[in-house]
Amino acid sequence: MTIALLAVAILVGASLQRLTGMGFALVSAPFMVLLLGPVSGVVTVNIASAAASAMILGRVFGDIDWRKFSRLAPAALVGIVPGALLLRSVPAAWLDVGIGVLIILSRTVSLLAKPRPREPGAGTTFVAGTASGAMNVLAGVGGPAMSVYAVATRWEQRSFAATMQPYFMVTALASIAAKLITSPVAVPALPAWAWLAACAAMVLGLVAGEVAAKHVTHDAGRLLVVILAFAGGAAATVRGVAAIL
């Protein structure tokens, strides 16, 4: 049952990633945390997120803004280091609560972000990248910080969605490496067939997203991401609070 739910979370997340440029981690992270625990769940999200972005990369390569990528990615790597160290000292129940709250708050902030007419400064870019990297390693969700940055800087959607694929791939791989160094048992002990099922769900999700992109508006896709992210974040928070009490 756990593997089936895991596959469904991956399938839906991959569909939304292809449809909107982001959303895989936002949708799948809270449910993977519920199914696998806070540390192993986030590692699994990072693995699947890197794979999803790698599969999409070839289709959007020409729209990537490498200049912005070269500024955001190093900043994200800076944020990953303290985030990975923090994971070692926080109890699992509190991690559940923290991950759930982070997902809800970050998504709320991204919805409330106001566009700014000027070019972002180096400080703004560094803060956005660092926050995204820290959230990626802690909760598997680096997208909301990037969404806030995109809205605030009026980043054109097509270029943003394309640039996020190499960005998510790099930050996910760096997060995996950081967690394996600080916690070698972080990768869940799933059977080989479960990983194959996850891969199949990923491919099916990307194909479904490709088809849906022709019929579903971008706004509708983003609305679904928001609804699922809030639901999953709330569920993870409730589980953590219940364990603490």
pLDDT digits (tens, 9 = 90+) for 55-105: 889 888 999 999 999 999 999 999 998 888 887 777 777 877 877 787 787
**pLDDT at residue 228 greater than cutoff 70:** no
Helical ranges in the chain per DSSP H: 2-20, 24-36, 38-60, 66-87, 92-112, 122-139, 143-152, 157-182, 192-212, 218-244
Backbone Cα Rg of the chain: 17
What mean pLDDT comes out for the span 159-185? 87
**Nearest by Cα to 22 from 226, 196, 174:** 226
What is the structure's pLDDT at 166?
95
CA distance 161 to 183: 32
The confidence score (pLDDT) of residue 82 equals: 87
113 class by beta-carbon count within 10 Å (0-12 exposed, 13-18 middle, 19+ buried): middle
- Which residues 6+ apart lie within 8 Å of 112 measured at CB? none
Q: What is the mean pLDDT of the chain?
A: 81
The reported pLDDT for the residue numbered 211 is 86
**% of the chain with per-residue pLDDT over 70:** 89
Predicted confidence (pLDDT) at residue 189 exceeds the cutoff of 70: yes
Give the residue-averaged pLDDT of 144-166: 83
Higher pLDDT, 109 or 194: 194
Domain boundaries, the chain: 2-244
Higher pLDDT, 159 or 219: 159
CA 44, CA 49: separation in Å to the nearest integer? 8
pLDDT-based confidence at residue 9 (cuts at 50, 70, 90) = confident
Q: Predicted confidence band at 129 (pLDDT cuts at 50, 70, 90)?
A: very high
Q: What is the pTM of this model?
A: 0.80
Residue linked to tokens 């609305």: 223
Q: What is the DSSP string of 3-16?
A: HHHHHHHHHHHHHH
Please indicate whether residue 118 or residue 197 has the higher confidence score (pLDDT).
197
pLDDT tops 70 at residue 119: no
Quote the CA–CA distance of 110 and 50 in Å, as a whole number: 22
Burial 164-201 (b: 16+ CB within 10 A, else e): bbbbbbbbbbbbbebbeebeeebebebeeebeebbeeb
Reported as a pLDDT band with limits 50, 70 and 90, residue 141 is confident
DSSP one-letter code for 243: H
Average pLDDT over residues 192-218: 85
Q: Which residues contact 123 (CB under 8 A, 6 or more apart)?
A: none
For the record, the structure tokens of 220 come out as 């509708």
Measured CA to CA, the distance from residue 139 to residue 46 in angstroms comes to 9
pLDDT band at 216 (very low <50, low <70, confident <90, very high): confident
Tell me which of 117-126, 136-145, 196-205 is least confident.
117-126
| Banded pLDDT at 170 (limits 50, 70, 90) | very high
Report the distance separating Cα 25 and Cα 16, nearest Å. Answer: 10
Q: 40: closest CA among 52, 26, 55, 29?
A: 29
Dig out the tokens for 92 from the structure.
């699992």
